[in-house]
Amino acid sequence: MKQLLENALQHAVDQLLKESGIEAGVHVRLTRPKQKEHGDYAANVAMPLAGCLDQPPREVAGRILAAVKWPDAVEDADIAGPGFINIRLKHASEAEVIKMVARQGDAYGRVEVSEDAEKVNLEFVSANPTGPMHVGHGRGAVVGDSLGRILTARGYSVHREYYINDAGAQIGVLASSLWKRVQQQAGISVELSDGEYPGEYLIEVARQLLEQYAFEDLNRMDHDRDVWPIIVDYAIEKMMAMIRNDLAALGIEFDHYFSEQTLHRSGKVAALIEQLKADDLIYLGTLPPPKGKEVKNYKPVEQWLFRTTGFGDDVDRPLAKKDGTPTYFAADIAYHVDKFERGFKRQIDIWGADHGGYVTRVQSAVKALTGLDGQPEVLLVQMVNLTRGGEQVKMSKRAGTFVTLREVVDEVGADAVRFNFMTRRIESQLDFDLEAAKQKSEENPVYYVQYAHARVCAILRKAEEEGVEAIEAELVNSSRLITDEEKSLVALMLSYPEVLDKAANRHEAYRVAIYLMDLARGLHGFYHKHRVISDDEELTQARLLLVTAVGQVLCNGLSMLGVSAPERM
RNA sequence: GCGCCUGUAGCUCAGCUGGAUAGAGCAACGGACUUCUAAUCCGUAGGUCGCAGGUUCGAAUCCUGCCAGGCGCGCCA
């Protein structure tokens, strides 16, 4: 509908400009006014146009109105305020949305995936396989998963990937931590060193390892050549199993878990470095000491530096040590280039805010190597502060007092975790209160929305009990829906596809959550003011279809967030 | 010191590719269950949109400077 109106207006505007011999293109954009006296849609084109044409805005608006050919659904349009064009739709045609929802069901709001759908690689979570995920990872996971669902609904071909950092120093630390736990299990007295992973989860892993291998056998083998690979592989496998399991508890799955190791083993990282040398994109140099931050034992060291400054970065970035040992950055580039080679020209990465400093350098490198501009599109998700009853939950990785994502999901439930993480823009830090998340009030909006859905179901059950049989949707007289509450629900449902579209285009999945809270509010308000089932048969049928449609849209929206839509609460 | 993010009601947040009287919820106060679920609803009250300039017919929204908080700043990821 919005699109139709915009086209009609745009046509009139173009014509007007043509007549006046003005080249400048003015783009029509419609908004939904907050005040309903301002109509169903409003356009402000006359204002910017007034400047071009050197005429008062209201006069320009008049000329536009004279020239425009409205679609049938338009009741009337008038000029208001400083020069807004307010458009009113024939209400009956708006209310027909309830039939559209009935026809389309789960598909309402979605667009069909076409053959030539744009391929998008969506990388998220990518937590290091060195321990359990924390709530911060959870936020990224939920945001990424929901965005994936939304993009899919809006016709993109989405490929979900998890990048496993299973190479590098941290993996060595993980393995040595596990080895010590194994030794401890065997009764040998060793202490974890500073920096090794103290979490108890490794004790359990050590136990399992010893069920497969006798300690004596492990101890007899050559430590570096034979035992170490066993320990390393076992540790990574167990950590990833735990992570997948925890993600599954949130209803999150990936198409592909991409191993960093494979990039090294296949020689892609080494080849990348050679290529960069050949292209003169890297050079042996020394970086100045970082400013403002004390670096203990700073020593100027020669490294292979990537010329990212040529692509918009502040300083060149180290890619490998002098001896050629690659840094994680080299693997990271190889990974994104690999995505490109697999045909992904759109890459969306969801990272924690603490990785914000790496956006420019990765984009610079990707641009240098593939020519892609602004890829990957990185969404930085801000931190989560975990509180309980308003008190900060103290966490220390070192002390092992660490609240894991899994513990939080088990305590408050996946639906509450998911919805709460989606109610804020990713740019704002999020206070997640464990007590509030369990409470059943508007402070915990997930129940508010779910309750609205359950309430719809209750009405439909009641109708069935009373022997009221719903007639075919197309036969319903939707023009009976004339109260403010009904109109407001109709308008909200009409805007659902627009909300989804905006959420997809701007990568702002939280919009769906905010929308659902509005729709639920509309439903609750309607419920208290009007009865669905009454003696007026025609009205009953119209309202039954209305609430059925609301229930459907609530359900559709909740599915975008991976949250369930219960029929009873 | 530099970069990114944030600053809107007592609290948590929407509104931010400029538009009409800045919105919700919680908390406060007052009401609504013989009715399709009160996990709900209705009403009252609550604001120098961090501060100061600028651009514009019009600024919470864009630009600049400042203030405050978070994150980050080579050989970890």
The nucleotide whose C1' lies nearest the CA of A424 is: B13
The nucleotide whose C1' lies nearest the CA of A86 is: B20
Residue in the block written with tokens 């699109």? A3
| Distance B66 C1' – A435 CA (angstroms) | 39
- Residue with smallest Cα–C1' gap to B26: A443
Question: Which chain B positions come under 7 Å from a protein C-beta?
Answer: 1-7, 12-15, 17, 19-21, 23-27, 32, 35-42, 57-58, 69-77
| Distance B61 C1' – A467 CA (angstroms) | 53
- What confidence score (pLDDT) does residue A399 get? 61
Domain count, chain A: 3
- pLDDT one digit per residue (tens) for chain A, 569 residues: 677 777 777 777 777 777 776 665 667 777 777 776 777 778 887 777 777 667 777 777 788 778 788 777 787 888 877 778 888 877 667 888 999 999 999 999 999 877 788 899 999 999 999 999 999 999 999 999 999 999 999 999 999 999 999 998 889 999 999 999 999 999 999 988 888 888 889 999 999 999 999 998 988 888 888 889 999 999 999 999 999 999 999 999 999 999 999 999 999 999 999 988 888 889 998 888 877 666 666 778 889 999 888 877 778 899 998 888 899 999 999 999 999 999 999 999 999 999 998 998 999 899 889 999 889 999 999 999 888 877 778 776 656 667 899 999 999 999 999 999 999 999 999 888 888 888 766 568 899 999 999 999 999 999 999 888 888 888 989 989 989 899 889 989 999 999 999 999 999 999 999 999 999 999 999 999 999 999 999 999 999 999 999 999 999 999 999 999 999 98
| Distance B54 C1' – A154 CA (angstroms) | 41
A424 within domain boundaries: no
Final residue before a domain boundary, out of A190, A212, A237: A237
A226 within domain boundaries: yes
Q: Is the peptide bond before A376 cis (omega within 30 degrees of 0)?
A: yes
Cβ distance A260 to A164 under 8 Å?
yes
- Which among A363, A361, A417 has a CA at the least distance from the CA of A386? A417
Separation of alpha carbons A275 and A320, rounded Å: 13
A150 within domain boundaries: no
Indicate if A449 and A554 belong to the same structural domain: yes
CATH of the domain at A55: 3.30.1360.70
Would you say the pTM of this structure is higher than 0.80? Answer: yes
SS (H, E, C) A81-135: CCCEEEEEECHHHHHCHHHHHHHHHHHCCCCCCCCCCCEEEEECCCCCCCCCCEH
Domain region containing A518: 444-561
The nucleotide whose C1' lies nearest the CA of A167 is: B77
Separation of alpha carbons A282 and A317, rounded Å: 9
| Distance B22 C1' – A288 CA (angstroms) | 48
CATH of the domain at A457: 1.10.730.10
- Residue with smallest Cα–C1' gap to B71: A354
Final residue before a domain boundary, out of A237, A254, A278: A237
A542 within domain boundaries: yes
Secondary structure class of A368 (helix, strand, coil) = helix
| Distance B3 C1' – A382 CA (angstroms) | 16
Final residue before a domain boundary, out of A237, A256, A276: A237
The encoded tokens of residue A342 equal 């697999």
Who contacts A193 (Cβ-Cβ below 8 Å, separation ≥6)? none
| Distance B6 C1' – A195 CA (angstroms) | 32
- What confidence score (pLDDT) does residue A453 get? 96
Cβ distance A451 to A457 under 8 Å?
no
- Residue with smallest Cα–C1' gap to B24: A518
A434 within domain boundaries: no
Query: Which strands form A119-123's sheet, in the order they lie side by side?
Result: A256-259, A157-164, A119-123, A346-352, A377-381
Count of CB atoms within 10 A of residue A537's CB?
A: 10
The encoded tokens of residue A390 equal 């308003």
- Residue with smallest Cα–C1' gap to B5: A427
- Residue with smallest Cα–C1' gap to B73: A290
| Distance B13 C1' – A384 CA (angstroms) | 15
| Distance B41 C1' – A514 CA (angstroms) | 20
The nucleotide whose C1' lies nearest the CA of A466 is: B36
The nucleotide whose C1' lies nearest the CA of A428 is: B6
| Distance B64 C1' – A498 CA (angstroms) | 35
The nucleotide whose C1' lies nearest the CA of A380 is: B5
Please name the amino acid found at residue A522: G
| Distance B73 C1' – A355 CA (angstroms) | 11
- Residue with smallest Cα–C1' gap to B1: A292
A276 within domain boundaries: no
A120 within domain boundaries: no
- Residue with smallest Cα–C1' gap to B40: A524
Pairing of strands A302-306, A317-321: antiparallel
Strand partners, A518: none
Residue in the block written with tokens 């609750």? A524
| Distance B24 C1' – A399 CA (angstroms) | 41
The encoded tokens of residue A147 equal 């965005």
A33 within domain boundaries: yes
